[in-house]
């Protein structure tokens, strides 16, 4: 899997949008961008994924730059429960059951 | 049912004990995974089962022995562990399809080796 670079930590005020960046400058054309998060002492939770186009679901939006070398996860109205480690992962399409390789992630702290 | 259930939640064992961790899912997923996570570190892949056959072993020591009795169950048998094996053990499952392959994780089993 291609490597990703994320800031180690970020703060965001409750109720504001949290924008988490991820750099994946060596991504290949056949690799998805996935975002997972892990709340303290729980298992990782899938958030969203995308290939080329921007994506939105009930949890978040994913903005992928046109050259696909970076992306931003947006939590539109952050709450205290969004405090977690957020992992950006790139993985080849069609890889089947080969698992995910986690980097160090970003520790997002939502401040009241 | 959209969950992966892991038991026990907590396990304390001595270095000479034999114990097992259990993982169960009823989502019809055909791939199951074991990850190990040390404190303040990201999860690390240990094993992958695809259609009940071991497909990936990330050079895990033989004191960890995985087993997939059927498509819904995954076990991790533990024997002669070391204190440094103390960690959170996470199980996950996925549909094992080509294309996007979203993993669903359990809450983990926290293992302490004395």
Radius of gyration of chain A (CA): 13
Rounded percentage of chain B residues whose pLDDT exceeds 90? 89
Average pLDDT rounded to a whole number, residues B92-108: 85
- Nearest neighbour of A100 by CB, restricted to B103, B106, B108: B103
How many CB atoms are located within 10 Å of the residue B65 CB? 15
Average pLDDT rounded to a whole number, residues A9-24: 97
- The confidence score (pLDDT) of residue A64 equals 96
- CB under 8 A, 24+ apart: contacts of A45-51: A45/B105, A46/B102, A46/B103, A46/B104, A47/A73, A47/A86, A48/A73, A49/B100, A49/B102, A51/A93
Average pLDDT rounded to a whole number, residues A96-109: 89
- Nearest neighbour of A97 by CB, restricted to B35, B42, B101: B101
Confidence label for A95 from pLDDT (cuts 50, 70 and 90): low
Q: Do A44 and B88 touch (CB under 8 A)?
A: no
pLDDT of B96 strictly over 70: no
Q: Which residues of A touch B92 (CB under 8 A)?
A: 43-44
Rounded to an integer, what distance in angstroms lies between the CA atom of residue B16 and that of residue B19? 10
- The confidence score (pLDDT) of residue A2 equals 56
At B22-69, the pLDDT tens digits run 999 999 999 999 999 999 999 999 999 999 999 999 999 999 999 999
- The confidence score (pLDDT) of residue B58 equals 92
Q: Which residues of B touch A35 (CB under 8 A)?
A: none
At A60-81, the pLDDT tens digits run 999 999 999 999 999 999 999 9
pLDDT of A1 strictly over 60: no
Rounded to an integer, what distance in angstroms lies between the CA atom of residue B113 and that of residue B14? 6
């Amino acid at each position: 899997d291609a490597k990703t670079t994320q800031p180690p930590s970020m703060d965001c005020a409750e109720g504001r949008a949290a924008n988490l960046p991820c750099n994946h400058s060596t991504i290949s054309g056949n690799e998805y961008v996935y975002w997972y998060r892990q709340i303290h002492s729980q298992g990782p939770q899938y958030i969203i994924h995308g290939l080329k186009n921007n994506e939105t679901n009930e949890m978040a939006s994913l903005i992928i730059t046109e050259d696909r070398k970076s992306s931003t996860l947006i939590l539109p109205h952050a709450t205290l429960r969004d405090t977690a480690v957020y992992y950006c992962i790139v993985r080849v399409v069609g890889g089947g059951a080969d698992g995910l390789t986690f980097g160090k992630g970003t520790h997002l702290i939502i401040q009241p | 049912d959209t969950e992966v259930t892991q038991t026990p939640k907590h396990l304390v064992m001595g270095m000479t004990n034999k114990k097992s961790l259990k993982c169960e899912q009823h989502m019809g997923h055909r791939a199951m995974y074991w990850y190990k996570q040390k404190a303040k570190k990201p999860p690390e892949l240990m094993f992958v089962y695809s259609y009940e056959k071991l497909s990936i072993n990330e050079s895990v020591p033989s004191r960890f022995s995985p087993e997939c009795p059927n498509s819904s169950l995954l076990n991790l048998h533990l024997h002669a562990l070391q204190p440094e094996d103390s960690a959170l053990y996470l199980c996950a499952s996925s549909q094992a399809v080509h294309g996007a392959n979203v993993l669903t994780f359990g809450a983990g089993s926290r293992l302490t080796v004395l």
